[in-house]
Structure 1
Amino acid sequence: MINLTGINKYFFVNTPNEIKALDNINLQVNPGDFITIIGSNGAGKSTLLKAVAGVIPVDSGCIEIDGQDVTNLPEHRRAGDIGRIDQDPMASTAAELTIEENLAIACLRGQRRALARAVTRPRLERFRQALRDTGLGLEDRLRVPVGTLSGGQRQALALVMATMTRPRLLLLDEHTAALDPKAASLVMDITERIVNRHQLTTLMITHNMEQALRFGNRLIMMHRGRIILDIGSDEKNRLTVAELIAKFASCSGTVFDNDRALLA
């Protein structure tokens, strides 16, 4: 499904602050994989997802999606195949537009735009069905401005928007990090339901190590731009948080230092 080969990315090149954010990343993602990604501060987790989405260019290496080399394709050329949600609920939705208007925009992701009515009767029924699956009652509030929703409701809406067109790949960049524990738990339940129902290939960054162990069939840990652990489903299901931290220390030679993860 996805093949990353020799991916390298530098920031602040030729300055005293030069940093290698991605260091020879090699990763194969199989169709239907739900991979959780954790790591120390500045490990390169978000940079990895942004590189796959085309938000930032890589300095070297190859990114393939379904056998197609997309390394040099800009973000908008990949948008039809990729759904992506940031950790900020404000970033993935348009606050001034209504729920139905946000969903209409999502329906057109990766397509040519034309002068035609975006909110149609068939689409409204599709929107209601998709929102009904979240269990939040949003299907009865289609004309409500998104800015009036709570953070959890906005992230649930963002999930529906990101998966409206059944993308080949779903990228979740700490999409529950800004939510309170109750809302985060709700959004994760919705995430798991949507991913499983549509068998979406998913990469999810999380600062919550319990989430990393509970969800998905693979777990990747990153440190200083490299993948230092790639754990399959059977081993992951047997691990505790303490054992996972110990594995990190053994592989990296340093203490795990993601402050938010440890606080969680």
Structure 2
Amino acid sequence: MIKLSGIEKYFFAGTPNQVLALDNINLQIQRGDFLTVIGSNGAGKSTLLKAVAGVISVDAGSIKIDGLDVTAHPEYMRARDIGRIDQDPMASTAADLSIEENLAIAYLRGQKRGLARAVTSQRTGYFRDTLRNIGLGLEDRLKVPVGTLSGGQRQALALVMATIARPKLLLLDEHTAALDPKAARQVMEITERLVQQYKLTTLMITHNMEQALRFGNRLIMMHRGRVILDISAEEKGKLTVAALVDRFTSTSGTVFDDDRALLA
């Protein structure tokens, strides 16, 4: 279980430009939950994921993973338990290394072993079987540099890398936002397949309200650093995008201002 208690994060603290980016966030995520996260511009969505991953520190509150308080743990220590993908297909992979080498690095995340020892014949077979599971034909291109892949292929590979060590938590920060519609649909299909197959606890930010309603068993909406809506699978299954926007407006008292979410 992932438990966030009283999380607060300030940017530019103590200056006239001080911003409260996360305001008393309290959230419990059960093992196997797939949460979609949506919200207005500047709501704190990405800040929340960065705080959980240890990319940024928090100013108050605690973060626990399976009962272990990781609040003070740096990013590299949390990486053993957390898989993470950002928007940029180039960010989660090493372009100059082969597909096989990228997978080997991901497989040994958190372990002190060199790349030369990471690639073995046994692991190569495992990598090939794992790639075959996503259906893009990458299992026959293990020696190919990742930089030669398309954005969609790289993001699909990043998904495999993020999940290959079966993390306790998978964090997805608008991981289809930079892709064309066809590639985005393909990557989301792979995402859903891997999350279900490995029963991964997942927190996914999306700017696409249709995605937020379609995927996962729970939806949270953020506004001005707070979680203002927490919607169960049963409830969100009955919602339309228009109804979700109305819920946001009535709860926050403001008009939803993310055009990307409304036009996607």
In the aligned structure 1, how far is the partner of 2:36 from the partner of 2:8? 21
Letter in 2 for 1:232: S
> Which residues of structure 2 form unaligned runs of 5+?
none
> Which residues of structure 1 form unaligned runs of 5+?
none
Q: 2:104, 2:115 within 8 Å by CA — same for their partners in 1?
A: no
TM norm structure 1: 0.98
- Tell me, what secondary structure is at the counterpart of 1:95? coil
Aligned partner of 2:231 in structure 1 is: 231
In the aligned structure 2, how far is the partner of 1:15 from the partner of 1:137? 53
Residues 256 and 63 of structure 1: is their aligned pair in 2 closer, same or farther, counting only changes over 3 Å?
Answer: same
1:111 aligns with 2:111: yes
Q: 2:105, 2:115 within 8 Å by CA — same for their partners in 1?
A: no
Aligned partner of 2:7 in structure 1 is: 7
Q: CA deviation at 1:114?
A: 4.5
Could you list the runs of 4 or more consecutive aligned residues of structure 1 that deviate by over 4 angstroms after TM superposition?
none
Aligned partner of 2:149 in structure 1 is: 149
Letter in 1 for 2:153: Q
Aligned partner of 2:258 in structure 1 is: 258
Q: 2:8, 2:25 within 8 Å by CA — same for their partners in 1?
A: yes
Matches within 5 A, 1:186-201: 186-201=186-201
Aligned partner of 1:93 in structure 2 is: 93
In the aligned structure 2, how far is the partner of 1:130 from the partner of 1:41? 36
Aligned partner of 1:38 in structure 2 is: 38
- Tell me, what secondary structure is at the counterpart of 2:196? helix
Aligned partner of 1:76 in structure 2 is: 76
Aligned partner of 1:20 in structure 2 is: 20
In the TM superposition, what whole-angstrom CA distance separates every residue of 1:222-249 from its partner, at most 9, and x where no partner exists? Answer: 0000000000010000000000000000
1:173 aligns with 2:176: no
Residues 148 and 116 of structure 1: is their aligned pair in 2 closer, same or farther, counting only changes over 3 Å?
Answer: closer
Residues 184 and 70 of structure 1: is their aligned pair in 2 closer, same or farther, counting only changes over 3 Å?
Answer: same
In the aligned structure 2, how far is the partner of 1:225 from the partner of 1:110? 31
Aligned partner of 1:222 in structure 2 is: 222
In the aligned structure 1, how far is the partner of 2:15 from the partner of 2:115? 47
What is the CA RMSD across the aligned residues, in angstroms?
Answer: 0.9
In the aligned structure 2, how far is the partner of 1:34 from the partner of 1:67? 19
- Tell me, what secondary structure is at the counterpart of 1:97? coil
Letter in 2 for 1:140: D
In the aligned structure 2, how far is the partner of 1:124 from the partner of 1:114? 16
In the TM superposition, what whole-angstrom CA distance separates every residue of 1:201-220 from its partner, at most 9, and x where no partner exists? Answer: 00000000000000000000
In the aligned structure 1, how far is the partner of 2:238 from the partner of 2:263? 22
In the aligned structure 2, how far is the partner of 1:202 from the partner of 1:62? 19
Aligned partner of 1:64 in structure 2 is: 64
Aligned partner of 1:241 in structure 2 is: 241
In the aligned structure 1, how far is the partner of 2:117 from the partner of 2:79? 21
**Percent of pairs with identical residues:** 77
In the aligned structure 2, how far is the partner of 1:116 from the partner of 1:194? 28
- For these two proteins, the number of residue pairs brought into alignment is 264
Q: CA deviation at 1:259?
A: 2.5
